[in-house]
Amino acid sequence: MEAPPCSQVEELQQEQEHGSSLVVGLSLCDSAPLLWRFQDLKTVRSNSLVGALLGSLPRTPRQNIRLGRPLLLMPEEERVLREHHGAAALSARNQDAAGAAELRQRYEEEQQRSLEEQSILALEDRKSALLRAMTSSSGSESGAGSDEALQCRLLALEQNFSFPRSALAVQLSTARAGLSQCQEDRAFLEADWPIREQDSPRRDARYQVFRDLWGRGFFLTSAGKFGGDFLVYPGDPLRFHAHFIAVCLTLDESICMLDVLSVARLGSNVKKTVLLCSPAPDGSVHYTSLQWSGMM
């Protein structure tokens, strides 16, 4: 594996020169970086960063197979975004009194407008349902008589119709409505996400390996359940199985034979190749794959 991993970075710089920078809004929850806005999730995935979904899926909240927003980023993913100036802090919730009062007024107005519009829509809906029912039942008959009856019924419907507030459909937003409301606010979205992680040789090794594999076009997710650091997919995890379990070690770290055996056994059980990855001082990464060969 000799190809240098810099093609990725060059392209990113070219994009920035074009003036259309790719920036996603991160917000911290209990010191974990989360992505809430749907567009940000799409952007991040199109750059082969997968993340992990944490929330309930709005359509079917009471199951664990498919989850919904927010998206949690791995520390390595967060760092990649930061180093490519793609991570910006989303503004916090507006807490001051003046701003809150204005927002409250806007909210009330919007609710009222929504109520009126939905009321009209509901009435239209009922009218067309009535029309469908009447024309289908009296299909053979035609003439002014049935027409008049229809008009009477419609009038009666309109007079007696009421749309209670409890029938109003409201949205429980997933992401906080913030910058995306006003176009000019985007200018204030500075991609200056601070450095959050502490330096440790282990974390550094993990990041070097992540960056190298990501640069080669692989999709990486976390692999705690498989006894390794990353699961390496040749394509989008939605469509492909993982090929490798990457275990990151520094070059001078010694590893016990029993650990090698256990991770090799685990890999063969789940039909994935184990990769021992070590970043070299010159920036490249050394990979060693383990293959379990039986005695014939």
Partner 1 sequence: MPGSLTMARTAAEVIRISRYASPCELFAARSRSHKIPARGQKDFYPDDSEEQRQRLQQSLDEHWNLIAEERVERLGNLVKATWVPSDQIVELQTPAGKFWQTMGFSAEGKQYLLPEEALYLMECGNLLVFHQDLPLSIQDGYEMFLSSDGVSLQQYQVFGHLKRLGYVVHRFDPSSEPSSYVRQLNLPQSRERGGRQLKRKRSPSPTPTCSHTKTTGESLAEKMEDDDKLPESHLMTSAEPPEPQTASPHSAAKGQARTWWMMDAPELEADKISSPGSPSGRLRWNFSTIPFPDLGSTSRPRCMVPVDPSLLPRNVTVGVCDLDSWMRKINLRKVKMSVKEQQREKRRRRWDVNKDREVQRCRNWAEYHELLARRQAKRQGRPAHLWNREVKPLHDPTQPISTAELLEKISVVKSTNLLEGASRLKCSEEWRICFNVYQPDSVADFKKSNPGKPYSRMCVCSFDGPVPDLRVIKQLAFQSGDVPIVYAVVDHGDISFYTFKDFQLPRDVYA
Q: Is 121 in the site for partner 1 (CB under 8 A)?
A: yes
Based on the shown chain and the rule CB under 8 A, indicate whether residue 273 belongs to the binding site for partner 1. no
Best CA proximity match to 33, nearest among 82, 73, 83, 81: 73
Smallest separation, CB 150 to partner 1 (Å): 25
Q: How many CB atoms lie within 10 A of CB 104?
A: 10
Residue 232: CA count within 13 A, CB half-sphere: 27
Q: How far is the CB of 152 from partner 1 (least distance, A)?
A: 27
Which one of residues 144, 239, 258, 296 is an interface residue with partner 1 (CB under 8 A)? 239
Give the residue from 54, 55, 46 showing the smallest Cα distance to 86.
46
Which x/- pattern over 5-44 shows residues binding partner 1 (rule: CB under 8 A)? ---x--xx--x--x-xxxx---xxxxxx-x-xxxx-xxx-
Q: How far apart are CA 202 and CA 225, in angstroms?
A: 19
Contact pattern from residue 170 through residue 189 relative to partner 1, giving x for each residue in contact according to CB under 8 A and a dash for the rest = xxxxxxxx--xx-x--x---
Tell me which of 157, 216, 250, 290 binds partner 1, using CB under 8 A.
Answer: 216
- Which among 70-78, 140-148, 245-253, 283-291 is the span making contact with partner 1, rule CB under 8 A? 70-78
Among the residue ranges 54-62, 134-142, 153-161, 252-260, the one whose residues contact partner 1 (CB under 8 A): 54-62
Q: CB within 8 A of 212, min separation 6: which ones?
A: 5, 277, 279, 284, 285
Pick one of 139, 143, 164, 294: the residue that binds partner 1 (CB under 8 A): 164
Per CB under 8 A, 154 contacts partner 1: no
Three-state DSSP class for residue 44: helix
Q: Which positions are catalytic?
A: 233, 241, 272
56 forms part of the interface with partner 1 (CB under 8 A): yes
Sign of the alpha-carbon torsion through 208, 213, 219, 221: negative
Q: CB atoms < 10 A from the CB of 77, how many?
A: 25
